[in-house]
Chains A and B, each alone.
Chain A
Amino acid sequence: MVDTGKSVYDTHKCRLLRKYDLTDMETLFLFRFEDPVVAQDWRFKPGQFVEVSLLGLGEVPISICSSARRMGFFELCIRNAGRVTSAIHKLTPGSLVGVRGPYGNGFPMDQFHGRDLLCVAAGLGMAPLRSVFLYAIDNRWQFGNITIINTAKYGPELLFEKELEAMKDIATAENIAIVQSVTRDPDYPGLHGRATEHMEKANVDPDNCAVAMCGPPAMYRGMFDYLVEKGYDPRYIFVTLERRMKCGVGKCGHCNIGTATSWKYVCKDGPVFDYYAITSIPGLI
Chain B
Amino acid sequence: MRYVKISKANTYKFLERLKAKGTLYAPTKISEKFYDFREVNDVKAVQFDYNRTIRPPRRFFYPARETMFTFDTTKVELYENVPEDETIILFGVHSCDIVGLRIVDSEFIDENPDPYYKKRRESGIIIGLSCLPDEYCFCNVRRVDFVDAGFDLFFHELPDGFLVRVGTVTGHKLIDPNMDIFGEITQEDVDYMTAFNEKRGEMFPIQGNWDDLRYFLELRRDHPMYARESEKCLGCGNCTLTCPTCRCYDVKDIPSIDGMTGERVRVWDSCQFRSHGLVAGPHNFRPTKESRFENRYMCKNAYNKDTTTAYCVGCGRCTYFCPADINFRKNLMEIGGYKEAV
Chain A interface residues (CB < 8 Å from chain B): 1, 3, 7-9, 11, 13, 53, 55-60, 79, 81-82, 85, 96-98, 242-244, 246-247, 249-254, 256-263, 268, 282-283
Contact = CB atoms under 8 A, between A and B. Distances in A.
Contacts of A261: 214-215, 217-218, 302-303
Given A1-B112, A282-B218, A252 B71 contact: no
A9 B68 contact: yes
B213 interface: yes
A243 B301 CA distance: 21
B20 interface: no
15 contacts: A1-B112, A1-B113, A55-B253, A56-B73, A79-B280, A85-B280, A98-B76, A244-B278, A246-B251, A251-B107, A252-B251, A259-B218, A259-B221, A261-B215, A263-B298
B248 to A, nearest CB: 3
A82 B281 CA distance: 7
Contacts of A82: 279-280
Nearest to A256: B299
Given A7-B80, A252-B250, 16 more contacts: A1-B111, A55-B73, A55-B76, A55-B262, A55-B264, A56-B262, A81-B280, A82-B280, A246-B251, A252-B249, A252-B266, A252-B269, A254-B248, A260-B299, A282-B218, A282-B221
B123 to A, nearest CB: 17
A13 to B, nearest CB: 5
B107 A250 contact: yes
A96 B76 contact: yes
Interface string B181-224: 00000000000000000000000000000000111011001000
A58 B111 CA distance: 24
Chain B contact surface mostly? mixed
Nearest to A59: B251
Interface of B: 68-69, 71-73, 75-78, 80, 107-108, 110-115, 213-215, 217-218, 221, 246-253, 255, 259, 262, 264, 266, 269, 271, 276-281, 285, 295, 297-299, 301-303
Given A252-B248, A259-B298, A81 B281 contact: yes
Contacts of B215: 260-261
Contacts of B298: 258-260, 263, 283
The 5 A-B pairs at the shortest CB distance, nearest first, are namely: A82-B280, A263-B302, A253-B248, A260-B214, A81-B280
A150 to B, nearest CB: 21
Contacts of B250: 246, 252, 254
Given A9-B68, A260-B301, A253 B218 contact: no
Contacts of A251: 107-108, 112, 114, 247, 249
Contacts of A258: 298, 302
A9 B72 CA distance: 16
B71 A56 contact: yes
Contacts of A56: 71, 73, 253, 255, 259, 262
